[in-house]
Amino acid sequence: MDKKDKQILTELQSDVLKTTADIAESVGLSTSPCARRIKKLESDGIISGYQVKLDRKKLGLMMTFFVNVSLSNHRDQAISEFENAVNCMSEVISCHVISGSYDYLLEVVSKDLTHYESFMRKLQTLSMVKDINTNLAIRPVKSGTPLPL
């Protein structure tokens, strides 16, 4: 990956709807070579998909929680069951295995506290969950920014 590829990726991260012609112009290439580079970045797996950034508040998802979860055991089956369950919970928009006092950090969105309480009940019913600690995000300072290239 060279400087031009990084410029193309930066352009795509800033606006996924930019045309190939617009990207080519921004990075100093003609359209055809730019399109070939984008296709190669896709086939190499560097571009793994395209997403639209949505406004959580306009969609009624007014609250964000960061939830630390500890498991009661760390056997493969318990880990697999927990991760499968979390992947099926639409409220969980990110899940990370972490080091420290807890095993996982979940980012959870909710329209209100009642909705979050319902989510927590689902999480608490998982047999492998030992401990849950929740932090309410007051406001984002930095979120969804492009990857540094």
In a domain, 144, yes or no: no
Residues 61 and 92 in one domain: yes
| Cα–Cα distance list, 44 to 17, 40, 97 (Å) | 21, 6, 26
State residue 129's pLDDT score: 98
Query: What is the domain-level CATH number for residue 37?
Result: 1.10.10.10
Mean pLDDT to the nearest integer, 33-58:
95
In a domain, 148, yes or no: no
pLDDT, tens only, 18-43: 999 999 999 999 999 999 999 999 99
pTM of the prediction? 0.86
Q: Give the domain range for residue 86.
A: 57-136
Residues 39 and 67 in one domain: no
Mean pLDDT of the chain: 96
Residues 106 and 61 in one domain: yes
In a domain, 21, yes or no: yes
Residue 134: strand pairing partners: 67
Q: How many domains does the structure of the chain reveal?
A: 2
In a domain, 52, yes or no: no
SS3 at position 70: strand
Residues of the chain above pLDDT 70, percent: 100
pLDDT, tens only, 5-14: 999 999 999 9
Residues 39 and 62 in one domain: no
In a domain, 83, yes or no: yes
Residues 66 and 116 in one domain: yes
Residues 130 and 76 in one domain: yes
Residues 39 and 68 in one domain: no
Residues 65 and 117 in one domain: yes
SS3 at position 131: strand
CB atoms under 10 Å from CB of 35, counted, come to 15
In a domain, 32, yes or no: yes
Alpha helices in 28-112 (DSSP H): 31-43, 76-87
